[in-house]
Amino acid sequence: MRLSWRNPIAVLGVAALSLAMIGLGAGMAAQKPTPAKAAAGTVKPKSLQTPQTVPGPTTGIDTAARHALIVEADTNTVLFEKAADERMPPASMSKIMTAYVAFGMLKSGRVSLGDELAVSERAWKLGGSKMFVPIGGRIKIDDLLKGVLIQSGNDACVVLAEGLAGSEQAYVDLMNQKAEELGLKDSHFANVSGLPDPQEWMTARDLVTLAMHTIRDFPEYYHYFSEKTFDFNNIVQGNRNPLLYKVAGADGLKTGHTDEAGYSLIGSVLRGERRVVVVVSGLSSMKDRASESERLVEWAFREFNDYKLFGAGDKIDDAEVWLGAAPKVGMTVHADLTVTLPRRSRRDMKVTLVYEKPLPAPVKQGAEIGKIVVTAPETQTVEQPVYAAADVKPIGTIGRMATVAGYLIWGNRR
């Protein structure tokens, strides 16, 4: 790569190199340095933070849903949102948290899928959607999870809660504790089934955060969300998630419905390496829920794409070192840098490397020495730190004197 310097600040347009892999071009850019940390709202690749608002790219799409959110899972980029931070009754979508707590117990070895839990009269009597558990029976946790996530059985939720925590309230306490641990900012659970309760609410943004934690934290149990039917007690029931039957790559997560909540859904679709998570809530019918969720998912895949610029450990460039035993040090990134952009904006994407030139010795390997800044129309700025790839020790006193003298006489730093 040919470098262009602007003393004392080096600002390198690296788009031509990094975008060669994806057939894009970019120009040189110069700017004053800023502290090498992400700006507010910056999307950090491969991190699991709360999806943030992205200005711009949602133009040209709307939905009849009262609440909606579409997120590119790999980059946490919000593609569309509508009232995503308003409280709403989650209905049976809250069963994702019911399952999440159980998954944690399974993964820790506290319980196993083959363990059997007793069915109480209270669980057997519970109304709403049912797995049809037999009073006084014992059911394997494996079957109960299928009853919760495929059949949306309220009775199965209570059997799980009572068997794993002693009571439904004790299990609800675990759900609220886990919500806090996962960073859900405005969610509260009052029961394990999602039945109407004034003390039960979530936001669309929290639902997406919970869904992505479920997918990433428990890949060994995520298959339950994609299973289409379950036969229990000679009663076959189908998964209510319409995306599983109509949309290529759909593999979860959960529907919900109450009179107050309307028809709702949080769905996930994986195509190749891209995963899109969508929430819709407050629709008037099952048909609307199916058509709106499908339409929004297809729009997300059609209008946006992921562009990988650098992989973890890739060398970005060399930084000049002042009064160092080595004249330069490599610059690298510690995590993949992938950005999600509207497809129409990719030609105007600009990738800029910003750092102070020269770096004063000593330089410690792994020290943050600059940042990559990615800009494009209709999307937020993405920033990622760059780090020194090696140690550079300072030169000795005589060498320092000779270097400084050479600089003063000839303007050469070496």
Could you tell me if 88 and 202 are in contact, meaning their C-beta atoms sit under 8 angstroms apart? Answer: yes
**Residue 4 is among the residues annotated as catalytic for this protein:** no
- The amino acid that residue 398 corresponds to is I
DSSP 8-state secondary structure symbol assigned to residue 348: G
Q: Is 318 helix (H, G, I), strand (E, B) or coil?
A: strand
Catalytic residue among 18, 94, 129, 152: 152
**Residue 152 is among the residues annotated as catalytic for this protein:** yes
Q: Is 219 exposed, middle or buried (0-12, 13-18, 19+ CB in 10 A)?
A: exposed
DSSP character string of 80-105: EEESTTS-B--GGGGHHHHHHHHHHH
Half-sphere exposure of 58 (CA within 13 A, CB side): 17
**Residue 371 is among the residues annotated as catalytic for this protein:** no
Catalytic residue among 18, 92, 94, 120: 92
Taking 3-state DSSP, the helix, strand and coil percentages for the chain, each rounded to the nearest 5, stand at 30, 30, 40
Q: Is 252 helix (H, G, I), strand (E, B) or coil?
A: strand
CA-closest candidate to residue 199, choices 191, 210, 208: 191
DSSP character string of 126-179: --SS---PPTT-EEEHHHHHHHHHTS--HHHHHHHHHHHHSSHHHHHHHHHHHH
Q: Is 313 helix (H, G, I), strand (E, B) or coil?
A: coil
Beta strand pairing call for 359-360 and 315-322: parallel
H, E, C per residue of 12-71: EECHHHHHHHHCCCCCCCCCCCCCCCCCCCCCCCCCCCCCECCCCCCCCCCCCCCEEEEE
Catalytic residue among 82, 95, 254, 357: 95
Could you tell me if 85 and 53 are in contact, meaning their C-beta atoms sit under 8 angstroms apart? Answer: no
Catalytic center residues: 92, 95, 152
